[in-house]
């Protein structure tokens, strides 16, 4: 089973390149693994080719990446080196690329003071069809929320709690929708968003709904 995630790397022009990682959401591991020495989370450091690719992509106009030179190793990486897309805004990524059901995490990587600064988000799907028999089928792309995780001493401190809290909230909203406490599914989603924002007042939250 994968732990799918997307990683947005800031470019020199302020836009972002988007990359995929199949297991990068597990324990939010990429928060600690992405550095200037290992920009794509190599299993070992010292891969000059990946550092060259990272720098090249910061100004690239398409998804093509340079090939490795003769004798230059290509150490396996946690994040796929070839991008899914280049030159996107974070808003575009949240609305058009994040699958809020399939992706478990989302990372934003910025280069600041000669180091990579990584912000990790958990992904929450706002579809109600899994908790309410009367709910319509909801989209998975561009329909949910991103929320940062609190860290202490290099470890996430409230990750499991927040995800459990959200599951409980969504189950209650779904039950209320089936019981016709809400006048419409739109009203139920508005309540879900409002409560989620209130409970996440100490975090960076982005909600996208279709």
pLDDT at 71 over 70: no
Q: How far is CA 127 from CA 92, 100, 115, in A?
A: 20, 9, 37
pLDDT band of 168, cuts 50, 70, 90? very high
Q: Are 138 and 127 in contact (CB under 8 A)?
A: yes
Task: Enter the pTM of the model.
Answer: 0.94
Give the per-residue pLDDT at 57: 97
Nearest to 114 by CA among 15, 37, 33: 37
DSSP 25-87: TGGGTHHHH--SSSTT-BSSS--HHHHHHHHHHTS-SSS--PPPPTT-----BSS-SS-SEEE
Mean pLDDT of 196-210: 94
Give the per-residue pLDDT at 157: 86
Give the per-residue pLDDT at 73: 60
Mean pLDDT of 122-139: 97
Give the per-residue pLDDT at 205: 97
Q: Are 142 and 125 in contact (CB under 8 A)?
A: no
pLDDT band of 210, cuts 50, 70, 90? confident
Which sequence spans correspond to the domains of the chain?
1-125, 126-202
- Residues pairing with 78 in the sheet: none
Measured between its terminal Cα atoms, the distance across the chain in Å is 28
């Amino acid at each position: 089973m994968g732990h799918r995630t997307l990683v947005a790397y800031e470019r020199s022009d302020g836009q972002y390149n988007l990359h995929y990682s199949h297991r990068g959401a597990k324990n939010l591991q990429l928060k600690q693994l992405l550095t200037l020495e290992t920009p794509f989370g190599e299993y070992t450091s010292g891969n000059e080719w990946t550092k060259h690719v990272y720098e090249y992509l910061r100004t690239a106009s398409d998804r093509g990446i340079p090939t490795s030179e003769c004798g230059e190793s290509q150490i396996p990486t946690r994040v796929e080196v070839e991008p899914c897309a280049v030159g996107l805004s974070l808003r575009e990524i949240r609305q058009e690329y994040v699958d809020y059901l399939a992706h478990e995490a989302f990372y934003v990587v910025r280069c600041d003071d000669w180091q990579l600064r990584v912000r990790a988000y958990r992904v929450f799907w706002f579809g109600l069809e899994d908790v309410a028999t009367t709910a319509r089928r909801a989209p998975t792309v561009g329909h949910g929320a991103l929320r940062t995780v609190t860290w202490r001493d290099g470890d996430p401190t409230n990750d499991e709690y927040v995800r459990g809290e959200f599951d409980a909230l969504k189950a209650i909203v779904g039950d209320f929708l089936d019981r016709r406490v809400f006048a419409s599914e739109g009203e139920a989603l508005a309540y879900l968003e409002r409560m989620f924002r209130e409970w996440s007042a100490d975090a960076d939250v982005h909600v996208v709904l279709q």
